[in-house]
Structure 1
Amino acid sequence: MDADLDTLATALYVTTDDLLLAHPERVPARPKVGIPPRTSDAEMLTLAVMQALLGYTSETRFLRYARKNLLGMFPNLPLQSGYNKRLRKLATTMTWLISELGRQTSIANDDVWVVDSAPVECARSRETVKRSDLAGWAEYGYCASHSRFFWGLRLHLVCTLQGLPVGWALTGAKADEREVLNAILDATPHLGAGTRQIVIADKAYYGRGFEAGLDLAGIELLRPSRKGESPRPGQRFFKPLRQVIESVNATFKGQLDLERHGGKTVAGVCARIAQRVLALTAAIWHNDALNLSVRRSLIAYDH
């Protein structure tokens, strides 16, 4: 196999189709009476990944590109409204597929994870904030890395040192990162019984009770010492590894347009964020199958 978009799309479609046939409960329910869609769920998920990798934030522009260049692979492309509705209904399926693809990689059992959150801006003007359907979930928060306030959400991500997403969550901008991490870990099947998992975090993941709970769950938390704390052991060794999560967040923002998602509703934002996490996972899954040294590289797929 080659590291190009057509090969990735073919491999992803075949794998996704097999997985959905084996797990029909993972696809959205459809009425028994009616006209079945001409574009299968596996095709829709493959198109969603291709859209994210190619950098099309507009579904209309992507479908225009697809009709010109991808009809040989997808002869029954839906209209823009149908494409949008199908993707929103497939958001839960995308989340499940992210885990399934991750489990098929050789790096899924990495005993070192990194965790952090990244801002997902949803509006800038006050008028947009006031009339947005996201009000009540999206909120004002502060991005320390860019020293700025924003209105929107946060993408909380746990990934391996190769950048493979292990668990993720989308919350309000002010959500407690420690509570979110506990929720992600509780829902993560990758935690092996009887093994110690190392999680590298930043200073926001602190607290005796919090760390004691992680320790009982078989997780060793490594983080920098906070102001007034005694130096924590091993800081000089894991500090360079913290850059992994910063690099993954940069991939989401720079190559997968995380903050240009274009979602206007809760369902729309969830689908678009899941689409981007799935695209990164699919690229890593394919690069791992090719045994490439850099699993997280998207260069071969963005044109």
Structure 2
Amino acid sequence: MHNFQANYDKILKVLKELDCKMDYLHQIRKPKLRDKQLIAIDLTSEYMGIDSECQLFRILPASLSSKIERSVYNRRKRKLFSFRESLRKALVKRLNKSEHCYIVDSMPLEVCKLSRSSRSKICKEQDYSLPEKGYCASQSSHYYGYKLHAVCSAQGVIESMDISPACVHDINYLKDIKHQLRDCTLLYI
């Protein structure tokens, strides 16, 4: 579907079914665009593959763009992240209600080339989040960075994602995830 308004209406309808609350942030002046409507705009743009805010406001229907300014949209979107995440979890729980089989996969997240790893300052602010050297068997190469782990249902609904240091073996991640997902089959690819 290429019609933003039609996609927006469907996503807003689903969000209203998940949670009847329309506003999450306490604001003295009531905004023209409700919090749930802003989340629906954000999810619609993500669904349609619009990654540029400029492009989003170019194709946003006049009924929505007249209710919010671009800088205000950006600020409120950041403040609503935790509420958006709780809505995502509720939606995933609803979609994966009868799911008994999950697929686990990982991929390398390279921070920089291995030759630059000794002098790189990227992501080294905290000791617990230091990037590490790792090996990717599918690409048969060493890399410096992290490992992204994703757990999704057989229908393709992403249950959770996690980032670990590159040196952590996938088996160790499976041991951690089996405590979160009980009474189901985990398939590791």
Q: TM-score, normalised by structure 2?
A: 0.70
Match of 2:109 in 1: 120
- Deviation at residue 153 of structure 1 after TM alignment: 3.3
Q: Is 1:117–1:155's contact at 8 Å kept on the other side of the alignment?
A: yes
Aligned 8 A contact 2:102 2:187 in 1: yes
Q: Does 1:139 find its partner at 2:131?
A: yes
Native 8 Å contact 2:33 2:68 kept in 1: yes
Question: What residue in structure 1 maps to residue 185 of structure 2?
Answer: 198
8 Å contact kept, 1:167–1:184: no
How does 1:103-114 map onto structure 2 within 5 Å?
103-105=93-95, 108-114=97-103
Q: Which letter does structure 1 place at the counterpart of 2:158?
A: P
130, 133, 148: which one aligns with 1:155: 148
- Partner of 1:157, secondary structure, is strand
More strand by share: 2
1:165 aligns with 2:164: no
Counterpart AA for 2:56: A
TM-score (normalised: structure 1): 0.48
The answer to whether the 8 Å contact 1:129/1:135 transfers is no
**Any gaps of 5 or more consecutive residues in structure 2?**
none
Q: 2:20 corresponds to which residue?
A: 21
Q: Report how far residue 52 of structure 1 moved.
A: 2.8
**1:45 pairs with one of 29, 39, 43:** 39
* Aligned-residue CA RMSD (Å): 3.7
Is the Cα contact below 8 Å between 2:149 and 2:161 reproduced in 1? Answer: yes
Amino acid at match of 1:109: S
Q: How many residues align?
A: 184
What SS class does the counterpart of residue 174 from structure 1 fall into? coil
Higher relative contact order (CA 8 A, sep 6+): 1
Structure 1's 22 and 200: CA in aligned 2 closer, same or farther, altered over 3 A?
Answer: same
Q: How far 1:199 sits from its partner (Å)? A: 1.3
C-alpha displacement of 1:64: 1.7
Instruction: Give the fraction of aligned pairs with identical amino acids, expressed as a percent.
Output: 20
Unmatched 5+ residue regions in structure 1?
203-303
Aligned twin of 1:10: 9
Q: Deviations over 1:109-162 (max 9, x none)?
A: 222211112233455594994155766425133333223444443332211222
CA contact (8 A) 2:148 2:162 kept: yes
How has the CA–CA distance of structure 1 residues 5 and 79 changed in structure 2, closer, same or farther, with 3 Å as cutoff? closer
Q: 1:99 to 1:198 in 2, by over 3 A?
A: same
